[in-house]
Amino acid sequence: MKYYNLKDKNEKVSFKEATIKGQGNDKGLFFPEFIPLFDKDFIANLGQFSDDEIAFRCMKDFVGDEIPEYNLRTIVSETINFEIPLKKINENIDVLELFHGPTLAFKDIGARFMSRCLSYFLKNEKRKVTVLVATSGDTGGAVANGFYKIPNVEVVILYPKNRVSKVQEQQLTALGENITSLEVSGSFDDCQDLVKMAFADENINTERLLTSANSINVARWLPQQIYYLLALKQWQQNHSEKPVISVPSGNFGNICAGILSYFRGLPVEHFVAGCNENDVVPHYLKTQKFEIKKTVATLSNAMDVGNPSNFVRILELFQHQFKDMQDAISGYAIDDEKTLRTISDVHQKFNYILEPHGAVAYAALKKFMHENPGNKGLILETAHPVKFPEAVEKATKCKVHLPATLNDLMKKDKKSVEIQPDFEELKRFLLTH
């Protein structure tokens, strides 16, 4: 499998090169040169396969022979070696819980897969690699955990000051060792822009071997398909109809992975992009006008993105056919007031606690189902409620208890370096540390 640059289709690279480089010339994202289809019998009989086998079959065509089968099977097994359950909220809506990994967020899956692929590719590399990543909350923690103490890898994480929760910040800043956190006085979009500029800077790339662990990296983006397959495996046990899948959407890597699975043969009725007040894509799906906006800070902070990078991959999947995209995806913007009300209502009626991102997906799915009666669906709960205690406790009037696995982490000192959203300041840091 080769990967081409969406901004320069003459640039084609291997999976290894795409994983290490992160992005291509002119800050372009890499995209697979063809979409490998799932075997129809495999999809129809997912219940007969182990989760490890499903994960391996999902990823093998994208990796090809660049990682031997034995090693790839080990990588995918370690990627999903925790529970990923589909649970019932009510008669019409299920929830896929993606927060049972080490950092209590869905990003654990992509980060674990990528860290292990990168470790395999770098085993004979003499130079250190710098993983440079921007985060709106959960990506940084998952990347820090996934790469913690991995030889020859240094991680530099940029996150927006005062825009992540206390648990998220501890996961970003408390590990130390080969993990460095830069606290940016700005928004996630500022962080993301700084990272993209660093990748395009000749001086930095001469001094450091850079790669990205954001969902712009194919090794972070592609393995997110796995949990859509695991969701369907469990869905098929109780449902005969195809599900509508509602995904909390910020940078659009998560839903893009689901749509890629759909193009490969995953039976999905429709996708719903649940967004907060950062509504660039819902606006586009209604008007065909993609208008970058200044980021608005919300309760669902991982989705506070005014210029979603991965949307270009969705456009590529649909070959820029707007009507086809409209037929497959609906987008809804949910404000903070509605988010809190949704958390409260679901808790009162069904005794289930949503966190803000899952609540946005739930509210968006309810809107779609009201407009399109007769459907059943599932939402993705992308983080543990403990990551957003203020919002959850305000809505439910219940105390959110810290999982025992986080006790030690929360006692550690925060270690971060504050910088302005200024590229020259980031450049000086990267060239002198």
Provide the token pair at 154. 């240094």
Paired with 331 in beta bridges are: 273
Indicate the pairing of strand 270-275 with strand 244-248: parallel
For 22, residues 6+ apart whose C-beta sits below 8 A from its C-beta are 132, 199, 210, 211, 212, 213, 214, 216, 217
d(CA 382, CA 357): 7
Residues 6+ apart with CB under 8 A from 373: none
Would you state the structure tokens that stand for residue 149, as one six-digit string?
Answer: 């103490």
- Chain-centroid distance of CA 35 in Å reads 20
- Identify whether the C-beta of residue 7 lies closer than 8 Å to the C-beta of residue 25: yes
Q: Tokens in use for 77?
A: 């097994």
DSSP 3-state of 13 = strand
- Of 178, 51, 174, 168, nearest to 103 (Cα)? 168
Token pair listed for 425: 């300041």
Show the beta-strand stretches assigned E in 347-428: 377-381, 417-419
Distances (CA, A) of 92 to 103, 123, 194, 235, 286: 29, 48, 43, 12, 26
What is the rounded distance in angstroms from the CA atom of residue 325 to the CA atom of residue 316?
11
Torsion of the alpha carbons at 376, 382, 107 and 101, rounded to the nearest 10: -100
Residues contacting residue 139 through CB under 8 Å, at least 6 positions apart: 107, 111, 133, 213, 214, 215, 302
Catalytic option among 16, 21, 107, 233: 107
107 counts as catalytic = yes
SS3 of 113, please?
helix
Which residues are the active-site residues? Answer: 107
